[in-house]
Structure 1
Amino acid sequence: MLMTKTLLFLSVFIAGFASAQEDLLKDIDTIQTKTPDMEQPAFKALQIVTGQSTKLPAKNEWYMVVAHRFGDISKGFKDFFGLDNASTKLGGIYGITDGISVSLSRETNLKTFEGAIKYRLIKQSENFPVDLVGYHVMAVNTDLSKDNYPDLRFGDRLSYLTQALISRRFNDKFSLQLTPSYVHKNLYEPAIEDKNQFLAGMGGRYKISKRISLNAEYFVNFDNHSFYKNPLSLGMDIETGGHVFQLLFTNSQLNSDIGYLTNASGKWEKGQIFFGFNLYRVF
């Protein structure tokens, strides 16, 4: 009952905040576009919720990323609905060309650094039905200690992610994306996960007003072990001119791409949910 009331309160608060943002920005929106509908990006943000979308920065654009995940809200007032246990990711993204970007980020949880490259292979148009984007990540877990792993080598800290991002913008309101993924970890716990993991993801965006959309994504991990859960996330995009602000609920507290996909620990049915946000600022 307490969890239901909490989620209801947060939902009302978010809806009110979004409505306020809509009113405040109504008179200052100067963005004009003559781009045909099918040639506009399927997603407004670089992430659907936590997983990557097919959107890329424009050439010479800099993005600053601040992503925050609070703790498990099911613990209630004991941890102040998760506010006592937060994880933060800071990062930067640069558009080398209109179709290639690179990024570097660092997350407090597991002290993980991630470097990534994202590139467009095919753009949706009248002649082709989908956007096709490649995404590759190399992560370094700097939290690992030789006290726990006496034979630890630098290579053991590394893990890798390869994704194909396949999206289609069906109309001005609705976009959908499929995300087949492969993760390789040099150091892993055989009892709870595999060295090589294959996942299939689906995510979507539905626009409910000029600057607000509701988003959702779900990944199925075909790893034979069941210690970690499949990540399921719900979010809201709020466009505010110079940046996109994303509010979200998820069962995976980690912000890093690989951590999010392979280390989700919460159970939605038990209220083990993490509230958070992503903030992108364009320069």
Structure 2
Amino acid sequence: MAKALLFLSVFSSVFAFAQEDLLKDIDTLTPNTETSQPAFKALQIVTGQSTKLPAKKEWYIIVAHRFGDVSTGFKNFFGLDNASTKLGVIYGLTDAVSVSLSRETFMKTFEGSVKYRLLKQNENFPVDIVGYNVMGINTDLDKDNYPYLKFSDRLAYLTQALISRRFNDKLSLQLTPSFVHKNLYEPATEDKNQFLAGLGGRYKISKRVSVNAEYFVNFDNHSFYKNPLSLGVDIETGGHVFQLLFSNSQVNSDIGYLTNASGNWGKGQIFFGFNLYRVF
């Protein structure tokens, strides 16, 4: 664990130095605008979604990477030999509605989503409320293993209410009640319908760096999978936000992250990774 943290520290320093010129382009907070600013700078807190949405006609390119279990040690170079990658695009239809499409290595999963603002924090209302709906397609399932497989068996669904509050220019918190439905599932390890509650937050430690954390409790979880717990660092640079993170879930997809976390923080079974967003 100590070696992995050292690697993260060195990686962060190198990346921040390389982006020194781009940092000059970041907009800074103006006085008396705390409640008008978004609660989060990135579209994700760590892996879970935040209440931030793209602006109208903005395109985002996503590259997310999760390496292997750091507890495997030098043999697998602390997990760097084993990775899961997610590539995706997000488009702002309006300032309040966005759509996305992504594909992840794990289970060769495609996910399409829609994210929409219901209420915005202002002087008369204390929180942002955003809805988030996802449909996932598992393309890795094989009829050799599932002879009676139908297309509908590949589908899974996620519905979330994202409720955040920006308390000041440093601290934001979010509550995320969630519901997952899987058409095909393994009864020994998971349920068809799963209810979860998440708590996440962001604390700004400098003009362009924040520390983030999130934890989801799965009320329908069996002992095999764990509740996802993730810690991260946001680095704001010109044109994009770079997120470094540690998590007990290697899965990048929204549904897989919430329901298929396999690592145990207490045993050092955690996964290093990053999210990179580029906006156009």
Q: TM-score, normalised by structure 2?
A: 0.96
Pair 1:135–1:266, CA change in 2 (3 A)? same
Tell me the matched-pair count.
279
Task: State percent identity of aligned pairs.
Answer: 76
Where does residue 27 of structure 2 map in the other structure? 31
Rounded to whole Å, the distance in 2 between the matches of 1:96 and 1:108 is: 27
What whole-Å deviation, never above 9, does each CA across 1:237-260 have from its counterpart, x for those lacking one? 000020000000000000000000
Distance 1:270-1:33 versus aligned 2 partners, 3 A rule: closer
Which whole-Å deviations, capped at 9, do the CAs of 1:59-80 have from their partners, x for residues lacking one? Answer: 0000000000000010011111
User: Hey, what does 1:84 align to over in structure 2?
Assistant: 81
The aligned counterpart of 1:161 is 158
Deviations 1:156-187 (A, max 9, x none): 00000000000000000000000000000000
The answer to whether the Cα contact below 8 Å between 2:64 and 2:87 also exists between their aligned partners in 1 is yes
Paired position in structure 2 for 1:111: 108
Given residue 124 of structure 1, which amino acid in structure 2 is its aligned partner?
Q
Q: Is the 8 A contact 2:250 2:261 kept in 1?
A: yes
Structure 1 residues 32, 236: closer, same or farther in 2, change over 3 A? Answer: closer
Matches within 5 A, 1:135-214: 135-214=132-211
Structure 1 residue 61 corresponds to structure 2 residue 58? yes
Which consecutive residues of structure 1, in runs of 5 or more, have no partner in the other structure? none
SS of 1:272's partner is coil
Q: For structure 1, which segment, 74-83 or 199-208, has the greater mean C-alpha deviation from structure 2 after superposition?
A: 74-83
2:248 maps to 1:237: no
Between the aligned partners of 1:23 and 1:52, the Cα distance in structure 2 is: 28
| Unaligned stretches of 5+ residues in structure 2 | none
> Residues 22 and 211 of structure 1 are in contact (CA less than 8 Å); yes or no, is this contact kept in structure 2?
no
Residue 253 of structure 1 aligns to a residue whose secondary structure is: coil
- SS of match in other structure, 1:189: coil
TM-score with structure 1 length normalisation? 0.95
1:143-165 superposed Cα distances (whole Å, 9 cap, x missing partner): 00001100000000000000000
Question: 1:97-136 counterparts in 2 under 5 A?
Answer: 97-136=94-133
The answer on 1:16 being equivalent to 2:13 is: yes
Secondary structure in 1 aligned to 2:93? strand
Which whole-Å CA distance do the structure 2 matches of 1:92 and 1:224 have between them? 31
Partners of 1:183 and 1:8 lie apart in 2 by: 33
Aligned-residue Cα RMSD (Å) equals 1.5
